[in-house]
Structure 1
């Protein structure tokens, strides 16, 4: 097995705009898509920290927007 620092991850996102990382050498789980960022764990987590600024699931954000518009 390779050293933990050498393990490559992919940044993935699901249909609710929730982010995670996934080992790059494994098939993605159902419902998740790669966003095109791959690298060491720390780099992938740093990317997520910059792009995932609203932790609420997409469905909740949309519901709250609809309530505000009424």
Structure 2
């Protein structure tokens, strides 16, 4: 997912939860840290290339499992 798209998803999630008032402290902190990582130009953000085929295979398997369990991809 492009960083710009990830940033938009994180900001939308933060806004939605803020309106609903259903944040717990851990979610709020995690969301803030994720936003800092994707918006900071020097943040140490890993890519698929950093993990090689193992990461891609693991991620593909998790997506398939989620689909079989009725989740979204």
TM-score category, normalised to shorter length: under 0.3
Higher relative contact order (CA 8 A, sep 6+): 1
TM-score by length of 1: 0.23
TM-score by length of 2: 0.23
Higher strand residue share: 1
